[in-house]
């Protein structure tokens, strides 16, 4: 694509992802409390988050592969339509079983994020890809500013009589709006020449799978970090509302506003600071800095007993998330061949979904077994492992650079 067309497509994609993530942001903070309205225990409430990720894990590689074959636009349209149906089911749910079915369908459709990332990879160069991924990250951040705030407002001020149906239906309307925007404004990013290369590549090469990643250690470690970061974040996301209810006696509105605050921090970092960090430190060192911030925030939240310390902790967490995730996407994309972009990003997204299965499952079990702070303290330990992998990647990159100079 030419530069003007590329910029226009990025803006439209930003708008679509923002609208879609706005709906996701509305639902996420209140979902565990919604499940409790139907009598769910904490470990069952977090499984409601995990079922979404299980279906994403199963279907994200399929969407990535289909987007390589048929184009990004048709897959985005299909998954956005499925999201509308899923939110409608959530809004009209009258039992815990219906909640699980609706969230499972939503998880099936969640591959649109990986497809959007592949779209960005199609229309950017390696030098400006981090910026492109950062713009998508900014859409996430904005979605998590306004989404939780809207969700908190729609649930009402009475924690004992919160309205969980209205936010879900509102989120479904937003997904419908995103679908219409994509249908009318978004062009296809794959031209016929690139599609032909992909088909030729597929005819000559076996399908990529997880075992092939072991033969590419840098890529495997990056995806490993992606898993660990997502595991810790998913554990936090699924239990923060439960923790705040137990420790601070908060309802869904207060928790939603806390998520909105985190979205503000994410937007500030991804909207500008990430480019500055990349320029000053490089992507790998910036990734390390993000992991440190995330780990420190998780450690602090485990000991938070007042609003001030909680805000400091969530600031560190938001900083870590907003730096690490777009840089990981950029690094993975840069060391992947053009013909494999959709498939590799689909595998990374699937790996992230696997972490979003394990994270909430562990969080719910540890919450009940070891106390409300256990999911956050264990997330800190997970970040220590991620930090070790980041250090190893940096060391390998330095050694490779030294060999090229020699």
Q: Which of 178, 232, 247 is nearest to 24 (CA)?
A: 178
Phi, psi of 162 (to 5 degrees): -70, 145
Catalogue all structural domains in the chain, each as residue range(s) with its CATH number. Answer: 3-187+208-405 (1.20.1250.20)
| DSSP character string of 128-167 | THHHHHHHHHHHHHHHHHHHHHHHHHHH-S-GGG---HHH
pTM above 0.85, yes or no: no
C-alpha gyration radius of the chain: 20
User: What pLDDT does 405 receive?
Assistant: 42
Residue with the two structure tokens 């919604």: 34
User: What pLDDT does 341 receive?
Assistant: 65
User: What pLDDT does 406 receive?
Assistant: 43
Cβ-contact 157, 253 below 8 angstroms: yes
User: What pLDDT does 300 receive?
Assistant: 95
Distances (CA, A) of 119 to 3, 176, 243, 335: 15, 20, 37, 16
Q: Which of 313, 337, 136, 356 is nearest to 226 (CA)?
A: 356
Task: Give mean pLDDT in consecutive 10-residue pieces for the chain, a chain of 406 residues.
Answer: 65 80 86 90 89 83 80 88 94 93 90 77 73 72 84 84 90 89 82 61 52 71 92 94 90 91 83 77 87 95 89 94 85 72 71 87 94 94 95 75 46
User: What pLDDT does 105 receive?
Assistant: 93
The length of the chain in residues reads 406
Neighbours of 140 (CB within 10 A): 24
Question: How far, in Å, CA of 83 to CA of 204, rounded?
Answer: 35
User: What pLDDT does 386 receive?
Assistant: 95
Token representation of residue 353: 């979904």
């Amino acid at each position: 694509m030419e530069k003007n067309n590329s910029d226009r497509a990025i803006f439209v994609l930003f708008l679509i992802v923002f609208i879609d993530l706005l709906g996701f942001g509305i639902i996420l903070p209140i979902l565990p409390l919604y499940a409790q309205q139907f009598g769910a225990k904490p470990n069952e409430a977090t499984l409601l988050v995990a079922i979404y990720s299980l279906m994403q894990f199963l279907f994200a590689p399929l969407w990535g592969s289909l987007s390589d074959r048929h184009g990004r636009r048709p897959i985005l349209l299909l998954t956005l339509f499925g999201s509308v149906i899923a939110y409608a089911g959530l809004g009209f749910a009258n039992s815990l079983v219906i909640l699980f079915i609706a969230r499972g369908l939503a998880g099936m459709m969640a591959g649109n994020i990986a497809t959007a990332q592949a779209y960005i990879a199609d229309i950017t160069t390696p030098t400006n890809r981090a910026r492109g991924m950062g713009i998508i990250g900014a859409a996430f951040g904005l979605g998590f500013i306004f989404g939780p705030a809207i969700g908190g407002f729609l649930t009402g001020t009475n924690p004992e009589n919160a309205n969980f149906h209205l936010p879900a239906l509102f989120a479904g309307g937003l997904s419908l709006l995103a679908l219409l925007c994509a249908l009318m404004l978004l062009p296809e990013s794959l031209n016929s020449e690139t599609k032909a290369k992909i088909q030729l590549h597929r005819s000559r090469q076996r399908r990529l799978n997880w075992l092939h990643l072991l033969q590419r250690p840098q890529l495997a470690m990056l995806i490993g970090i992606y898993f660990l970061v997502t595991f810790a974040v998913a554990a936090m996301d699924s239990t923060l509302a439960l923790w705040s209810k137990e420790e601070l006696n908060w309802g869904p509105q207060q928790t939603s506003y806390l998520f909105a605050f985190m979205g503000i921090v994410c937007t500030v970092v991804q909207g500008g600071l990430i480019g500055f960090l990349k320029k000053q430190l490089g992507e790998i060192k910036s990734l390390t800095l993000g992991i440190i911030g995330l780990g420190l925030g998780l450690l602090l939240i485990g000991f938070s007993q007042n609003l001030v310390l909680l805000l400091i902790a969530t600031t560190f967490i938001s900083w870590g998330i907003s730096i690490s995730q777009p840089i990981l996407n950029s690094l993975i994309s840069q060391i992947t061949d053009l013909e494999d972009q959709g498939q590799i990003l689909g595998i990374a997204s699937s790996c992230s979904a696997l972490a979003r299965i394990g994270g909430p499952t562990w969080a719910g079990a540890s919450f009940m077994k070891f106390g409300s702070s256990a999911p956050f303290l264990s997330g800190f330990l997970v970040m220590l492992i991620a930090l070790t992998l980041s250090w190893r990647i940096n060391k390998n990159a330095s050694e490779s650079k030294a060999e090229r100079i020699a």
